[in-house]
Amino acid sequence: MNIILIILVFGVIIFFHELGHFVVAKMNHIDVIEFSMGFGPKLFSFTKKETQYTLRLIPLGGYCMMLHDGDEEHSDRDLENSFDKKSVWARMATILAGPAMNFVIAFLFSMVIIHFCGSDPAVIGTVYNDAVIAEYETKAEEAEKKALEAATEEEKKQYEEEAQGYREAAQEIREYFAGVYPAEAAGISEGDIVKKIENSNVKNFRELQIYLQIYGDGSPINFTMERPDGTEYKTTVYPKETPNGYKVGIISVGYELPESFGELCQYAARETRYWVKATFLSLKLIVTRQVSSEDVSGPIGVAKSMNTTFNEAAKSSMLDLLLNWLNYIVLLSANLGVMNLLPIPGLDGGRFLFLLIELVTRKKVPQEKENLVTLIGFILVMALMVVILFNDIKNVFF
């Protein structure tokens, strides 16, 4: 079943990406020769209104083949409906429609996830200090007392696990911070909202976590915060080194369910923004070589991660399994949208760049030159995919 779910994840994000190109092409009366899901040998196909719809063997891609000038194989078709004959604005819209559809799908599926799970606002739930340790120990004692009075073994086990959790949390805070609490020292209080980290706007608490993971080298961090009464202030936090990386001594208020449809849309937009931002941060780390090749995953690595996640989720409930499946679609759809907008020949962003040049100069880039640059870009992208695939195989199987 996991194999089917994994194939469906890739299938959904690819289908809607190509559907974006397809729909806008049809709206602009561009002749679509083939709408294909997958690469390689043909498994199934049918033709409707001059477009061939195809399912192919390898489910790691797809394409929306449009009619172009000079297409000798389809010379019987009306060239007035070719991609090249349309206005530059129509061609731009058609190219951008694929990545745009990925962001739309990420947003819509985020709405489903947030409806059930909520969103993590950038609100401080707890600021670590000695009082928090005392509170956790008190709660542990209360849970231990309830365990002794429990009527059933199940209740007893539940309270014992609760007590153990509080004991471990208190001990961790004590060992990690040793009485020095960075957030408390910076004047941060429970209920405060994180507005900015350095010069970067913050909407989700996970943005703080990912910042510490990526940039957490112990350097001071400048925060822009907001009190519950709306008062804004700035402060500098000096992270403390712990066995689990640098920490500032705060935890979030948790996940909050939306109270209205408007709030649901707002939270979904923030979720989509988070994954887009995470993709750009990941690209920055790769380009600046702040991550090793061991940390870069391709289709096989992602599939392995999905398999592990789905196995764990299935132990809980079918709803958890579905929500985790949707979450991977959101993550990868936002990732695909960003990657396709990069101005690299062979990708949508590269094709858009040629159209942008045409718009500015009011002169088309010669087709032979565009084809050559696109071919070189495509070869480089394929070479990179081979390297990533090799790295995947090495990390997963060896």
CA separation for the pair 378, 390 (Å, rounded): 18
Q: What is the mean pLDDT of the chain?
A: 90
Check pLDDT > 80 for residue 384.
no
CA separation for the pair 110, 102 (Å, rounded): 12
pLDDT tens per residue, range 10-35: 999 999 999 999 999 999 999 999 99
CA atoms within 13 A on the CB side of 385: 9
* Tokens describing residue 241: 């080194």
pLDDT tens per residue, range 197-213: 998 899 999 998 888 87
Band of residue 294 on the pLDDT scale cut at 50, 70, 90: low
CA 140 to chain centre: 37
CB 123 within 8 A of CB 192: yes
55-81 core/surface letters (b: 16 or more CB in 10 A; e: else) = ebeebebbbbbbbbeebeeeeeeeeeb
H or E segment to which residue 197 belongs: strand 193-197
CA separation for the pair 292, 303 (Å, rounded): 20
pLDDT tens per residue, range 42-73: 999 999 988 999 999 988 789 999 998 877 77
Question: What pLDDT score does 295 carry?
Answer: 66
* Percentage with pLDDT > 70 across the chain: 97
CA 43 to chain centre: 31
Q: Please report the DSSP string for 263-285 in residue order.
A: HHHHHHHHHHHHHHHHHHHHHHH
pLDDT tens per residue, range 101-113: 999 999 999 999 9
pLDDT tens per residue, range 182-193: 999 999 999 999
Question: What pLDDT score does 281 carry?
Answer: 85
Question: What pLDDT score does 293 carry?
Answer: 61
Q: What is the pTM of this model?
A: 0.87
What's phi and psi for 194, nearest 5 deg?
A: -80, 115
CA separation for the pair 135, 190 (Å, rounded): 15
H or E segment to which residue 195 belongs: strand 193-197
pLDDT tens per residue, range 309-355: 999 999 989 999 999 999 999 999 999 999 999 988 888 999 999 99
Nearest to 129 by CA among 226, 256, 246, 240: 240
Least confident interval from 84-88, 178-182, 269-273, 383-387: 383-387
Rg (CA), the chain: 26
Least confident interval from 141-145, 346-350, 383-387: 383-387
Band of residue 292 on the pLDDT scale cut at 50, 70, 90: low
Check pLDDT > 70 for residue 131.
yes
CB 95 within 8 A of CB 351: yes
Question: What pLDDT score does 164 carry?
Answer: 95
Check pLDDT > 90 for residue 261.
yes
Question: What pLDDT score does 171 carry?
Answer: 94
Band of residue 356 on the pLDDT scale cut at 50, 70, 90: very high
Question: What pLDDT score does 301 carry?
Answer: 82
CA angle 238, 240, 246 (to 5 degrees): 105
Check pLDDT > 90 for residue 39.
no
Check pLDDT > 80 for residue 373.
yes
Residue 162, SS3 per DSSP = helix
**Domains of the chain from N-terminus onward:** 124-252 (2.30.42.10)
Strands 124-127 and 245-247: unpaired
